[in-house]
A and B are shown apart, each in its own frame.
Chain A
Amino acid sequence: MATLLKNREILLVIAIIALVFLIALRFPGFVAPANLARVYNDTSILIILALGQMAVILTRCIDLSMAANLALSGMVAAMVNAAFPGIPIPLVILVVVALGAALGSINGLLVWKLDIPPIVVTLGTLTIYRGTIFLLSKGAWINAHQMSDAFKALPRAPLIGFPVLSWLSVLAIAAVYILMTRTPVGRAFFAVGGNPHAAVYTGIDVGRTRFLAYCLSGGLAGLSGYLWVSRYAVAYVDIAAGFELDIIAACVIGGISIAGGIGSVGGAVLGSLFLGVIKNALPVINISPFAQLAISGTVIIIAVAVNARTEKRKGRVILKKAEAV
């Protein structure tokens, strides 16, 4: 039992269940299966984004440009659809994933080749991407009636009882899980973040690994761009403004260490779900909008505080005998 409680994922699962239970005390409808499915669906985009952010954070980097990348990819998806409604949606998705990955690779190249600190690079590209949306759209909105029906229908189309949006996030979780645990690249993410110097000696190219992490986060942001725009049926410059902080918060709550090297797919998913539950519960438990902001912030700080405590590694005694002497 004690070892179980030390496992961060299990701790988070317990926290989420407790949270849902508390919410149900005030609003019983919240625990209805249909509602829980709705909450998961609402959190899907955050989950997909958190998976990308996790890979980047694991390599001791950070991607502040994800939400801007999402907005730019989303705007391009909407503009392509508005101009050529005939293009099949899977092709549109392929285009925005490629575009997102390309935008992510810009971050990666700057971090890799020019050795600029990741926070500076992505802070810069964040504003560049937002600015580019304005240049592309001239500030105009792409609205529901300009998008084709197929474009809007895909994420909400039911498939075996759940919307496609939910399934896409499940697919993303599975794909990233396999990538992280079964491929050399996934291992490299951990190695680079855990100890970059040691990673070099094992033959891992640190810069290239970081570059790949940024491509992954970019590609997932591109996918989310389409999902976001079609879900809310509107694209404009400011969509998902400030969402990068939610993504990073989800990762931090999920136990992914900002210092790199520590984290898991399960953590990213559970961290996102934790935030998603709060976001969806706040409107129904009827509390003041000012208190809502304070609650969100408090929860994040508590999560980080718990995180910092469990992360504090005790120095390992490697020479037991010498100590005993």
Chain B
Amino acid sequence: MKILKALMVTTAVSLALMTNAAHAENKKIALVVKALGIGFFEAANKGAQEAAKELGDVEVIYTGPTTTTAEGQIEVINSLIAQKVDAIAVSANDTDALVPALKKAMERGIKVISWDSGVAKDGRSMHLNPSSSPLIGNMIIKLAADQLPDGGDVAVLSATATSTNQNTWIAEMKKVQGNYKGINVVATVYGDDLADKSYRETQGLIQSYPNLKAIIAPTSVGIVAAAQAVEDAGKVGQINVTGLGLPSEMAGHVKAGSSKSFAIWNPIDLGYSATMIAYDLIGGAEAKPGAELKMGRMGTVKLDDNNEGAMADPFVYDAKNVEEFAKIF
């Protein structure tokens, strides 16, 4: 009975979409998020819906548990398997816990990808990272250099001296430093992701390097504290604070002028790309090392040995768009 009903519905839908004659029915792509009601994921859904509209024959099911638990996500995934969706794109609450449920989905012919927060290799056909360390490293120095046509001294305010992410990004940044003429990285200091220490380190930078033109802080606590310290020292316009931060946290400082621009991944693009990749896989593309999958307006993503790919450069936020995104995340 249920099958009959479903068949009738799909027939009706496909009749309504006669223009897409090539496809017999709508492809159902489930976007599973860490939890419902989080601005970042609501924005990702916005992107997924955009992709669905562009593709025409796709229905995006936006779902997730109410709290960020792996158990909740497993329940959601099981119910999606029962609904016979064509693809699941998940941002996982736990790397390993979801693997059995997702394996079951793949055995039933459902395409599974992870995005934002990945699942272990066995539980998905590919993982979409929002960006990559080389892209981030390049972006943070580019943001500083773009405001300094004549070059100048810049300093890095990191988190702790042992934080892996920040160290990797800074190392990647230093690799491409030669591409930005006249940009001179004078110091790297550590604010330990504490507001007061980051603030003090920034004051130290201002004192030690009178010709400092920019501070790059690839950490959300650091960039906010540095911006505040620059404002308090009356150096707005002289020293530009940039790096990685969230629009909601940085909106005030962009308005105050201490930060001209900063970057972080764009959740809308991420949801859009995940949907596009899922669609590409449903259409027969294979996720294997070296493969290139289509992401619509975002271009293509090339998979590495772990079947992971990076979407794009971090997205740049400035006075023009920060207010709008501050409402999202």
Contacts and interface: CB of A to CB of B under 8 A. Distances in A.
The interface residues of chain B, by DSSP majority, are classed as helix
Given A29-B207, A233-B228, A283 B200 contact: yes
A279 interface: yes
A208 interface: no
B232 A156 contact: yes
Q: Chain A: interface residue count, which band?
A: 20 to 34
A33 to B, nearest CB: 14
B205 interface: yes
A190 B251 CA distance: 50
Contacts of A232: 195-196, 199, 224-225, 228
Interface stretch (A104-112, A122-130, A137-145): A137-145
Nearest to B258: A144
A248 B227 CA distance: 30
Contacts of B187: 286
B291 interface: no
Among A228, A239, A284, chain B packs the most CB atoms within 10 A around the CB of: A284
B252 A290 contact: no
Nearest to B194: A241
A289 B192 CA distance: 10
A284 B195 contact: no
Contacts of A35: 207
Most buried by A among B190, B196, B224: B196
Interface in A77-95: none
A280 interface: yes
- A29, A145, A243, A288: residue with the most chain B Cβ atoms closer than 10 Å: A145
B157 to A, nearest CB: 10
A240 B194 CA distance: 7
Nearest to B190: A289
Contacts of B253: 144
Interface in A248-289: 279-280, 282-284, 286, 288-289
Interface of B: 160-161, 187, 189-190, 194-197, 199-201, 203-205, 207-208, 224-225, 227-228, 232, 248-253, 255-256, 326
Interface of A: 27, 29, 35, 38, 42, 141, 143-147, 156, 228, 231-234, 239-243, 279-280, 282-284, 286, 288-290
Given A156-B232, A280-B204, A283-B189, 19 more contacts: A42-B200, A141-B248, A144-B228, A144-B252, A228-B196, A231-B199, A232-B195, A233-B224, A241-B194, A242-B194, A243-B196, A279-B197, A279-B200, A282-B204, A283-B201, A283-B204, A283-B205, A284-B208, A286-B187
